[in-house]
């Protein structure tokens, strides 16, 4: 992202703030993995949205004096030679104004004394209460100090408002720069799924395919997945968020892979399901084709003016109709839909927002009936999961299939960001056969 992009976002937030107000946005704290070892640091998505700054112990304060005067202050860690030898470079205060396009940078250790001065005399403070305990402590301590300082002509803001509803509505609509990054995240994620199909063999372990996926991410500049990779073979594909990835893949099994890379903070999110040996059985293919029809129909329907709820209703009818034809479900199609009998086999939503978070922020509306608009980015992920003990014909038990693509809603319809990894059953079989040749 360019600095102009971050400045545009800050200006957009400031334009929605009341006069005589400040928004206080905290970086994510570090998370301990074991004893004195931390997990790789991952910045809070909202803080990243406004700064692109990937250090902990940082706070962005945006101050709006009136409609024409505002300024920005960053609190961040001081330069420390010893700490930097052990843990890596810090930006410090001298470089921050130019690097991050802020008006001032102050040491994070000084926030206790400086934050009250920044908030003094304002009417409103925007703060995400309950997000981080330390953030609450610092903000409330600053307000308390101002309230107790009336004899020194100190005045505390009378109103505390959560900035998240405003910011999350902003994040819902992706700019051209964001769309370009999401497009590349989709491309890299698609390459990883293609590699997994090409490398898959009976007898491999799920974690070995996970390794192939991670390899492809890294080869293209994406160090981390955007969520824990799911590689579920056989019955494990019926577990929606299966992440153990420890089982050996057997000849005749399907394997469901739900994986996406994180690139510059933005998420890819793809699911493909394919036969471990490269050839679908007839029952597997029958269920697969129902899910594929659901996805392809969704790709045709999603456009401005539609909603996730509307398209989901079409998908449910496709699924119920297909399962009744196979004898997996029994009864009148309309009655089964009205009774939501499909929830036994399709128990999650069709789509979710995608962006800096894999399950991105933004209001969905009542039962996901929000009208879609250009710039929104969503997943499409129909799936059917037939439990091993389900009361269905035996040949369908233990089959779990999900197929997922990512799309941008455009003025003309939608753009599929992840179309470059095959999903037609015949194309999957051809790709896997060619890899063995």
Active site (catalytic) residues: 36, 241, 258, 269, 348, 352, 359, 381, 385, 402, 404
The two three-digit tokens of residue 397, written as one number? 């038990």
Strand, helix or coil for residue 247: coil
Please report the DSSP string for 221-239 in residue order.
T--EESS--EEEEGGGGGS
- Give CA–CA dist 308/329, Å, rounded: 24
The two three-digit tokens of residue 244, written as one number? 């153990």
- Give CA–CA dist 92/335, Å, rounded: 64
- Helix, strand, coil percentages (3-state) for the chain, rounded to 5, are 40, 20, 40
Q: How far is CA 424 from the centre of its chain?
A: 26
DSSP state of 27: P
Q: Report the chain's C-alpha Rg in angstroms.
A: 25
Q: How far is CA 286 from the centre of its chain?
A: 31
Q: Are 80 and 117 in contact (CB under 8 A)?
A: no
């Amino acid at each position: 992202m360019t600095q102009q992009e971050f400045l545009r976002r800050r200006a957009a937030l400031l334009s929605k703030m009341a006069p005589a107000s400040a928004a206080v946005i905290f970086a994510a704290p570090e998370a301990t993995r074991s004893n004195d070892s931390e997990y790789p640091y991952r910045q809070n998505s909202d803080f990243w949205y406004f700064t692109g700054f990937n250090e902990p112990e940082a706070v962005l304060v945006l101050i709006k004096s009136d409609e024409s005067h505002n300024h920005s202050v960053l609190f961040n860690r001081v330069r420390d030679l010893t700490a930097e030898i052990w843990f890596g470079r810090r930006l410090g205060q001298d470089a921050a104004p130019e690097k991050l396009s802020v008006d001032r940078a102050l040491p994070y250790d000084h926030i206790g004394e400086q934050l009250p001065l920044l908030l003094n005399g304002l009417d409103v403070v925007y703060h995400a209460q309950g997000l981080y305990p330390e953030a609450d402590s610092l903000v409330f301590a600053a307000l308390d100090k101002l309230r107790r300082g009336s004899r020194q002509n100190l005045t505390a803001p009378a109103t505390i408002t959560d900035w998240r509803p405003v910011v999350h509505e902003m994040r819902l609509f992706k700019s051209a720069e964001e769309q370009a990054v999401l497009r590349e995240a989709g491309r890299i994620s698609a390459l990883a799924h293609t590699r997994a199909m090409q490398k898959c063999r009976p007898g491999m372990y799920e974690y070995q395919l996970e390794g192939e996926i991670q390899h492809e991410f890294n080869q293209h500049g994406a160090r981390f997945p955007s969520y824990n990779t799911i590689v579920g073979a056989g019955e494990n594909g019926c577990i929606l968020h299966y992440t153990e990835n420890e089982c050996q893949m057997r000849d005749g099994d399907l394997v469901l892979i739900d994986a996406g890379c994180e690139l510059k903070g933005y998420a890819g999110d793809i699911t493909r399901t394919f036969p471990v040996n490269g050839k679908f059985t007839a029952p597997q293919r029958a269920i697969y084709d129902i899910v594929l029809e659901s996805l392809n129909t969704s790709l045709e329907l999603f456009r401005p003016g539609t909603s996730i709820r509307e398209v989901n209703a079409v998908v449910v009818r496709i699924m119920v109709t297909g399962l009744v034809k196979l004898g997996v479900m029994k009864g009148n199609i309309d009655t089964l839909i009205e009774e939501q009998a499909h929830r036994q086999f399709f128990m999650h939503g069709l789509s979710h927002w995608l962006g800096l978070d894999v399950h991105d922020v933004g209001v969905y509306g009542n039962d996901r009936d929000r009208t879609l608009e250009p710039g929104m980015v969503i997943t499409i992920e129909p799936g059917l999961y037939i439990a091993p003990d389900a009361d269905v014909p035996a040949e369908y038990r233990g089959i779990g299939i999900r197929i997922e693509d990512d799309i941008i809603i455009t003025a003309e319809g939608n753009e599929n960001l992840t179309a470059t990894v095959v999903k037609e059953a015949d194309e999957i079989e051809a790709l896997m056969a060619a890899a063995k040749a």
